[in-house]
Chains A and B, each alone.
Chain A
Amino acid sequence: MKELSELNLPENLRYTDDHEWTSSEGGTMKIGVSDYAQDQMGDIVFVEMPEVGDNFDKGDEFGTLESVKAVSELYIPVGGEVIAVNEALEDGPELINEDPYANWIVEIKPSDPSEIDQLLTVEAYREILKG
């Protein structure tokens, strides 16, 4: 397992206490899971993703990540409409282990951009990981 100091936690992203990350760009938002999440889960073998066009409220389950040992639900950090899913994950779920930040899971158009302000900064997320 990685030590806290070994985790890759990019400064420019916002995080959730469910160990997801988000990046905002031009009114849309990409969502993935953090280095900590992929390290804890081990080899990811299946990614269940929503359909483009699906709408979710903040906190809704939008998919699952499955490792050899466990199934983890994915919760949407900000409500909105799915405008893209990362289809490369269907054939290559292990891409999330290889680089959890390059390999986003869904892209959404937030319905209430003010929800973004409630997400964790990297410092706040790091504090949560310290426990």
Chain B
Amino acid sequence: MQTQKKTVLHGFHVKQGAKMASFADYDMPLWYPTGIKSEHLAVIQNAGIFDTSHMAAVTVKGEGSRELLQHCLSKDLNSCVGLKKSALTEGKCVYGIFLNPDGTVIDDAIVYQLQPSKFMIIVNAGMGGPVAEHLQQSCDKDGIIVEDLTDLIGKMDIQGPKSALILKKIIKDPDLLFDGLTYFSFKGGLGSCTSSMPVEMIDGTEILVSRTGYTGEFGFELFVEVDQLKALWDKLLQAGEEYGLSACGLASRDSLRAGAVLPLSHQDIGPWPFISNPWKFALPWNEDGKSFSKDFIGADALLEETEADHTLPFAGFDPRKIAAGDTTSVIDSAGEKIGRILTCTTDMAIGRVDGEIIGLASGEATPEGFKPKGLSCGFVLLNKNFEPGEIIFLTDGKRKLKVEIRVDVRPGRSARRAIKTMLA
């Protein structure tokens, strides 16, 4: 049996009485005694913190780094930032995929430009080694240094509308940090990942603050030296007490991201071509929708692909689920098997009102006193395409659940809101 890896916050999780489970060889909290529902709702209404230090970091440094990433990543680094698609520059980050030559997925990643020839890449747990190796093998130039920093960088996320108010309390110059900190931008650095815009906590600790996350809600991913992570976690817990901050486990992270239609690598994207899925924004499509703005590993295979299965988001009509796995399947109204379930979880912040999906954060559309019962949601991989609104069925042989193909699931998400409005 393989030894379970532990993050530096493992002691906290166990002491709190979290339900623990193995995730990518790390012993991680699924939920704390507060429960998944309250953790999920905390992120919608207040804020939650997540231990994400099981995720891995890779750095790429030296002349030619940008060209190497341009060759390997599914995003065009010269045309990817914001609605105007400007070039990736210092202080900006992008989401993209590392593909094999046949168009299948190695892993998804966020690439941070720290300096003109220095990048930090955040990949999934256990993927630091494989991604670093892939980059090295794809590199034909001397002078580019690829380093796997697995377990050497301390990472945690704070997500939810109160995140900025809480973070503000522990940062030395919060006005400077928050000024112009738009969605998918960052400031600061640490140790081996320094940038030209240092950010310090009140006690002088170096930190990297990124306006990103994996919940669909407003918030930040935070990076410090790994031996500083426990202190940061404790400070935020304390600073967040007055704002209803909750420590959150992987289960609520999963239900929040599914409701936000974000994929889990190696589950919703994986060893099949990365195409015909809801994540078109991760590919460098030209306006014609038929060609790419750059060449990269996997591009030819994707452009030639004609028979790929369709990855589609769905939402149910009540909280009931059918688990993903070999023993379950997706069928059409005639009972014919059309594919399999990739993810099925329950977003506890939404419900249906007269058939329409309404969330706790739907603004005026949310009826007074609305108490959502939750809706199942996730992704299916089907051998034919279905349009939004069409009905399919998930089944485990005994139970059969009716679900609807969707474009989007949880309404009223806060991820892209202006930081100023979140500090008011």
Task: Please report the C-alpha to C-alpha distance between residue A97 and residue B31 in the assembled complex, in whole angstroms.
Answer: 14
Partner of A68, one of B37, B318, B323: B37
Task: Please report the C-alpha to C-alpha distance between residue A24 and residue B138 in the assembled complex, in whole angstroms.
Answer: 70
| Range class of the B interface residue count | 20 to 34
Asked if A43 is an interface residue, CB under 8 A from chain B, the answer is yes
Residue of chain A at shortest CB distance from B18: A1
Residue of chain B at shortest CB distance from A70: B323
Asked if A71 is an interface residue, CB under 8 A from chain B, the answer is yes
Quick one: given A42-B251, A45-B346, are A68 and B320 in contact (CB under 8 Å)? no
Partner of B321, one of A1, A42, A71: A71
Instruction: Point out the residues of chain A lying under 8 angstroms from B18, CB to CB.
Output: 1
Partner of A1, one of B17, B40, B345: B17
Residue of chain B at shortest CB distance from A68: B36
Shortest distance from the beta carbon of B17 to any chain A beta carbon, whole Å: 6
The answer to whether B35 and A42 touch across the interface, beta carbons within 8 angstroms, is yes
Asked if A46 is an interface residue, CB under 8 A from chain B, the answer is yes
The answer to whether A69 and B319 touch across the interface, beta carbons within 8 angstroms, is no
The answer to whether A66 and B319 touch across the interface, beta carbons within 8 angstroms, is yes
Cβ contacts A67-89/B at 8 Å (1 or 0 each): 11111000000000000000000
Asked if A107 is an interface residue, CB under 8 A from chain B, the answer is no
The answer to whether A69 and B373 touch across the interface, beta carbons within 8 angstroms, is no
Partner of A66, one of B36, B37, B251, B320: B320
Instruction: Point out the residues of chain A lying under 8 angstroms from B31, CB to CB.
Output: 42-43
Quick one: given A64-B399, A68-B251, are A43 and B37 in contact (CB under 8 Å)? yes
The answer to whether B37 and A69 touch across the interface, beta carbons within 8 angstroms, is no
Residues A12-42 near B (CB distance < 8 A) = 40, 42
Quick one: given A68-B255, A68-B346, are A42 and B319 in contact (CB under 8 Å)? no
The answer to whether A48 and B320 touch across the interface, beta carbons within 8 angstroms, is yes
Shortest distance from the beta carbon of A21 to any chain B beta carbon, whole Å: 21
Asked if B19 is an interface residue, CB under 8 A from chain A, the answer is yes
Q: Which of A40, A48, A64, A67 has the largest number of chain B CB atoms within 10 A?
A: A67
Task: Please report the C-alpha to C-alpha distance between residue A42 and residue B18 in the assembled complex, in whole angstroms.
Answer: 11
Task: Please report the C-alpha to C-alpha distance between residue A94 and residue B37 in the assembled complex, in whole angstroms.
Answer: 10
Partner of B319, one of A1, A2, A40, A45: A45
Residue of chain B at shortest CB distance from A2: B17
Instruction: Point out the residues of chain A lying under 8 angstroms from B346, CB to CB.
Output: 45, 66, 68
Shortest distance from the beta carbon of B367 to any chain A beta carbon, whole Å: 16
Q: Which of A2, A42, A43 has the largest number of chain B CB atoms within 10 A?
A: A43
Asked if B348 is an interface residue, CB under 8 A from chain A, the answer is yes
Asked if B298 is an interface residue, CB under 8 A from chain A, the answer is no
Residue of chain B at shortest CB distance from A6: B17
Task: Please report the C-alpha to C-alpha distance between residue A3 and residue B294 in the assembled complex, in whole angstroms.
Answer: 57
Residues B303-360 near A (CB distance < 8 A) = 318-323, 345-346, 348
Shortest distance from the beta carbon of B324 to any chain A beta carbon, whole Å: 12
The answer to whether A69 and B36 touch across the interface, beta carbons within 8 angstroms, is yes
Sorted nearest first, the 9 A-B pairs with minimum C-beta distance are A45-B319, A43-B37, A68-B36, A43-B35, A46-B319, A43-B36, A68-B346, A1-B19, A45-B374
Question: What are 14 inter-chain pairs, A to B, with CB distance below 8 A?
Answer: A42-B35, A43-B35, A43-B37, A43-B38, A43-B348, A45-B319, A45-B374, A46-B373, A64-B399, A66-B319, A66-B346, A68-B252, A68-B348, A94-B37
**Given A2-B17, A66-B320, A69-B251, 15 new contacts (CB under 8 A):** A1-B19, A1-B20, A40-B19, A42-B19, A42-B35, A43-B35, A43-B36, A43-B348, A46-B318, A46-B373, A66-B321, A67-B36, A68-B345, A68-B346, A69-B36
